[in-house]
Structures are given as C-alpha cells and as structure tokens.
C-alpha cells in the first residue's frame, strides 16, 4: 500500500511504486479530470501539481511523490487562484474540444501562484509544453492575462 496525499486527502492505494501517477489518480483513486494524452510527457494533457509545481503525471511514478502533495484539476475549484483561472477560461471561451484544457489550466494556475504578474514571455514559457490541437493559444494567453489582472486587482 502506498499513501498518496491527493487533493488534500490521504488515499491508501494498492499499487506498485513504478505505476505512473496518472493511472493511480484515474484508475485507482477515481479522479477522472486528469487526461491521458501522449503517455510520454510531451503534450501536457496530464499536468498535475506536485507541491504546487506543474508535472506530467503520465511519466511520474507514484513512488516518487510519496510524502508530497498532489493536486489535480478535479480539486482546483477549492484553490483561490485556480478559481480565478477557471473563470477566465470561461469568460474568454478558451476551450474548443477541451481535451487539453485541464493541463493548460493547471500550468496557468502554477504560473500565477508563483508569479501573479507574468510577462508575455513568461506566460509562453509556462505553457510551452501544453499542446492544444485546436490551436486556441491566443485565447489561452488572453485568459492568463485576464486572470493575472483579476489577481492583481483583488490584492490591491
């Protein structure tokens, strides 16, 4: 048994330490928001947070995160920055097919938690590994800028 601190709760999972975190989250713990994309850590659809930092869950073995906090898109509604990012996504109608959006939102939230006023270059760097097959990159950047503006206004 491995204890995984997932979305603020301890989960006892009967898995091996080399199981990819993605499958432990989806198939064993039952959180379906994190998506499988490429299985090689290249597309970003499976992005989660490990102690607040974005990571690709498809290539991260569960054994490597023991004792760390793992957060998924399924619980982002309880994070104040995550709420702002999700609202900006809705306000700017970012999603088309929506498949990549969980990973995009997780990357954007991680950025804005560490840098609430990122430059355009910093935004691009934060989401460069997240592929959107629909090509909504301009709307993604717009949503991140909108969320950044909202966060700055709420702390002023």
pLDDT tens digits along 12-27: 999 999 999 999 999 9
**Residues 137 and 123 reside in one and the same domain:** yes
**Residues 16 and 33 reside in one and the same domain:** yes
CATH code, 59: 3.10.20.30
- Whole-model pTM above 0.85? yes
pLDDT of residue 155: 77
> Mean per-residue pLDDT for 55-84?
97
**Residues 65 and 95 reside in one and the same domain:** no
> Mean per-residue pLDDT for 85-101?
94
- pLDDT tens track for 41-50: 999 999 999 9
**Residues 57 and 113 reside in one and the same domain:** no
Which of 32, 58, 75 is the last residue before a domain boundary?
75
Domain of residue 150 covers: 79-155
Residues 6 or more apart from 127 whose CB is under 8 A from it? 44, 104, 107, 108, 111, 137, 140, 141, 144
């Amino acid at each position: 048994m491995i204890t995984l601190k997932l979305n603020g709760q301890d989960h006892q999972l009967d898995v091996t330490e080399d199981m990819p975190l993605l499958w432990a989250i989806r198939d064993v713990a039952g959180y379906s928001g994190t998506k499988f994309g490429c299985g090689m850590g290249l597309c970003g659809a499976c992005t989660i947070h490990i102690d607040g930092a974005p990571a690709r869950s498809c290539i991260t073995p569960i054994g490597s995160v023991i004792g760390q906090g793992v957060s998924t898109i399924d619980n982002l509604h309880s994070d104040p920055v995550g709420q702002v990012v999700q609202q900006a996504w809705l306000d700017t109608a970012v999603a088309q097919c929506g498949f990549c959006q969980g990973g995009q939102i997780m990357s954007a939230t991680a950025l804005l938690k560490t840098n609430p006023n990122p430059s355009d270059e910093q935004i691009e760097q934060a989401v460069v590994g997240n592929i959107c097959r629909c090509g909504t990159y301009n709307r993604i950047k717009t949503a991140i800028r909108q969320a950044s503006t909202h966060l700055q206004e709420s702390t002023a």
